[in-house]
Chains A and B, each alone.
Chain A
Amino acid sequence: MASNLEWRPDSALAPTLTPPRLDPGNTERTAGELSRRTFLRYSAATALALGTAAVHSGRRVTAAETIGLPAATSSHPIRVIDCHAHLNHRSRSTWEADDRKLIDAADRLRIEQLCCSILTPRRPATVEGFRECNQWVSDGIRRFPGRVRGYCYVNPGHSQEALDEIRRCVEQRGFIGIKLYNEHTCTEPIVFPIVELAIQLNVPILQHAGHAHYPLEGQPHISDGSHLAELSRRYPEAKLICAHICGGGDWEWTIKALRRAPGVFLDTSGSVTDAGVLEFAAQVLGVHRLLFGCDNSMTAGMGRIRGANLSAADKAKILGGNMARLLPSLAALPS
C-alpha cells in the first residue's frame, strides 16, 4: 500500500485546508527578537508539556516552577526546541500560508525554535532539487528570525555537490545540521564523507529512519536503528539523530537497537501517540539521549511529552535542554 511507504509528516498526507488564523494577536516577533512577552510564553511551554496550568493565582508561573523548582532558580529558562520540523515545498500552492501555520502552531504550543528542512517531493533528490530546498529553508530562517533553524538536506549520491552544499549551508547560511533521507542507507560508504564533514563542522545529522517487519516497498534504502548504531560505532564522535521514533514503525525494536550506541540521539517525533514510548526510551537509552520533536504532528509531539511518566527535570531536558547541548549555537537565548 503506497500510503504506508512514505515516511513523511502526516500533514503532507492530509488535504490542504485553510483554517482561521489561530493566534492573530501574536505580533511581537516582527523585530526578529524574543520580546519579554514571547519569552514568558516560552517559559510557559513546560507548563503546557507538563500538563500544569501556565497561570497560578493570576500570575504567570516561571519555567522553573513548572518543573518543581523554586521560582528563585528561574534564571535558567526552559528551552523548547523542535528537533524535527519541515517548512513546505514551494510546489505546494499554499506553501507560504502553510509555513505561517507552522509558526502559529509553534506559538500555540510554546515551541520556541523549529529545526527545519524541506525535502524534494520525489526522491532521489537531484542536485538542483536539494539546493532549491535549502535555499527555501534559508529564506525561512530570514522570514521567521529566531524561530526557524535549518537542516541542510542533501542526497549523498551526489558526492561532491552534497559536500559543497553542506559547507555552503553551514558556513555561510548558519544551518545547524544535516538532514539525510532514504536515498542511501546511512551505512553505505557513499555516506561516510558526509558524516566526516559533519564531524568537522560539529553539526548533527538527522537521519530519516524506520523499522517495519515487512519489506518497505518504495524505501529500499531506508535506515533503521541498527544502521545508525553501526554508523555510530564507525564514527563515535558523530552527532547522529535517529528520526521520528513515533512514526518509524516498531519503536520498541528501534530503541533496543540503539541501546549500545551512545552517540545516537533519538528524536521523539511522529504521529503515533502510543503510551509508554518515552518511558521505554528513557529506561533503555537514558533521558539525555532524547530530543523533543513533532515532525509537524504538533499535538502528538507535545502531548506525548506531557503524558510521559517522567520527572519535570527529565521533560525539560527532552524539550530542549538536550538539543541545546547538542547545538551550542542554540545554547543562549536571543537577547
Chain B
Amino acid sequence: MIVDANAYLGPFAFRRLRPNTAPTLLQLMDVKRIDRAIVSSASAIAYRNVQAANEELAAEVTPHRDRLVPFAVLNPFYSGWEDDLKICHEDFGMRGLRLYPKWHNYQLADPCCLELVHAATERGWIVSIPARVEDHRQRSWLVDVPDVPLDELATLIKACPRARFLLLNGLNYASMQLGRKDNGLPANYLIELSRLTALLNNELGQLMANLGPERLVFGSGMPFSYPDPALLKLEVLAAPEEAKAKIRGQNIARWLVA
C-alpha cells in the first residue's frame, strides 16, 4: 500500500500543473501504483479567501473519497476561519489542515495560529505544513516567499504537544533539532520524504536511525513534482522491507484512521 501524504489539485498561480484534476491525478496514481493521496488545493496558496479553494477541492474529490483525502488550507489571520474550519470538517469531511505561514504572511508562533492548530486538533485533524512550495531560485518576480525555517516548526511542535504534525517538502532535518535522536520534542510529527536524499549523504537513513521508520512518510509533491523521484528513493533506500512498508503507507494510514 502506497499513500502519498503530499499531493495537490487545482491550478497554481505561477506555473501550469498537470495532472491537476481528480480524474487525471487518479490516472497517474494508478500508473504509479499509489493507492491513496492526501490532497489540498494548489489554488489556495495564492488565494486571499482560501475557503473558495477549499470549496473547489471538496467538489473535485467528492466522487473519489475512497482514494483522495482532502486537507483544508486555512489562514488564521483571515476573517471567518473558524466558520471555514467547521464547514471543511463537518460539511466537506476534510481530514486535516495545510498551513502556508510564509505565503500567507503570519508567524507560526502567533497566538492566532496556535488557536487554529488547537481548533484543528480538537477536531482530530492532522496539521500539515509544507516548508516550501517551489524552489526559491525559480520564484516569480512578483513574490519572494522564503522557506519555513525548521526551527520555527520545532517551536510550534513543542508548543502543541497534543497536535499531530505532518512536515512536508523539507530537508536537512538530520542536522537540526527535528531530526536528532532524543531531541526533547514530542513525537507528534511525521516527516515526509520528497526532498530527502536516499543516496550519497542519505538523510533518509539518518532519520531512520535517529527517529525510527515510524516517523517517516512517503510523499511526492505531485503534480508540482514527478512522483517518481520520491518512489525511487524508497526503492533504493537501504532498509528492511518492513521499514519501507511503514514509510510507504502504514504510518500515515495509522494517523488517518486515528
Give A contacts to B, CB under 8 Å: 1, 4, 10-11, 13-17, 19-20, 22, 48, 51, 98, 101-102, 104-105, 108-109, 210, 212-214, 247-252, 271-276, 296, 298-300, 302-304, 306-308
B84 to chain A, nearest CB (A): 29
Q: List residues of B (194-248) whose CB comes within 8 Å of A's CBs.
A: 194-195, 197-203, 205-206, 221-233, 236, 238
B175 — which chain A residues lie within 8 A by C-beta?
14-15
- Whether B199 and A275, one on each chain, are in contact in the complex, defined by CB atoms closer than 8 angstroms, is no
Check A299/B232 contact, CB under 8 A, given A250-B138, A252-B15, A274-B224.
yes
Contact present for A303 and B229 (CB under 8 Å)? yes
B144 within 8 A of A: yes
**Contact: A273 with B136, CB < 8 Å?**
no
Is B42 interfacial (CB 8 A cutoff)? Answer: no
Q: Is B64 an interface residue (CB 8 A)?
A: no
Residue of A at shortest CB range from B172?
A14
Q: What 6 A-B pairs come out closest when comparing CB atoms?
A: A303-B229, A307-B226, A307-B228, A19-B202, A105-B199, A213-B141
Distance between Cα atoms of A108 and B134 in the complex (Å): 28
Q: Are A98 and B231 in contact (CB under 8 A)?
A: no
Tell me whether B197 and A299 are in contact (CB under 8 A). yes
CB distance A19 to B201 under 8 Å? yes
Give complex CA distance A276, B134 in Å. Answer: 14
Of A20, A48, A212, the contact of B138 (CB 8 Å cutoff): A212
Residue of chain A at shortest CB distance from B18? A276
Q: List 30 A-B contacts (CB under 8 A).
A: A1-B136, A14-B172, A14-B200, A14-B203, A15-B172, A15-B175, A16-B201, A19-B201, A19-B206, A19-B238, A98-B200, A104-B199, A108-B236, A109-B199, A212-B139, A214-B141, A247-B135, A271-B135, A273-B221, A274-B135, A274-B224, A274-B226, A296-B200, A299-B197, A299-B233, A302-B232, A303-B229, A303-B230, A306-B226, A306-B232
- Given A14-B197, A19-B238, A98-B200, A275 and B225 contact (CB-CB distance below 8 Å): yes
- Cβ of B227: which chain A residues have Cβ within 8 Å of it? 307
- Beyond contacts A273-B230, A302-B229, A303-B228: 15 other A-B pairs, Cβ-Cβ < 8 A, are A15-B172, A15-B201, A17-B203, A19-B202, A213-B141, A214-B141, A271-B135, A272-B135, A274-B15, A274-B224, A276-B16, A296-B200, A303-B226, A303-B229, A304-B226
| Residue from A51, A214, A249 with most neighbouring chain B CB atoms (10 Å) | A51
Residue of A nearest to B227 (CB): A307
Residue of B nearest to A246 (CB): B135
Tell me, rounded to whole Å, the shortest Cβ–Cβ distance linking A89 to chain B: 15
Give A10's nearest chain B residue, CB to CB. Answer: B197
Number of interface residues of B (CB under 8 A): 45
Q: Chain A residues near B238 (CB, 8 Å)?
A: 19-20, 22
User: Nearest Cβ distance between residue A159 and chain B, in whole angstroms?
Assistant: 31
Interface of B toward A, CB cutoff 8 Å: 15-18, 32, 134-141, 144, 146, 171-172, 174-175, 194-195, 197-203, 205-206, 221-233, 236, 238
CB-CB under 8 A from B199, the residues of chain A are 22, 101, 104-105, 108-109, 298-299
Chain A minimum-CB-distance residue to B233? A299
**Among B138, B172, B174, which residue has its beta carbon within 8 angstroms of that of A272?**
B138
| Nearest opposing residue in chain B for A278, CB measure | B226
Residue of A nearest to B205 (CB): A19
A14-B201, A299-B229 known; A22 and B141 CB under 8 Å?
A: no
Instruction: Please give, as numbers and ranges, the residues of chain A lying within 8 Å of B232 by CB-CB distance.
Output: 48, 109, 299, 302-303, 306
In the complex, the chain A residue whose C-beta lies closest to that of B225 is A273
In the bound complex, what is the Cα–Cα distance between A29 and B228 (angstroms)?
Answer: 29
Q: Name the residue on B nearest A300 (C-beta).
A: B229
Partner of A251, one of B18, B138, B201, B224: B138
Residue of B nearest to A3 (CB): B136
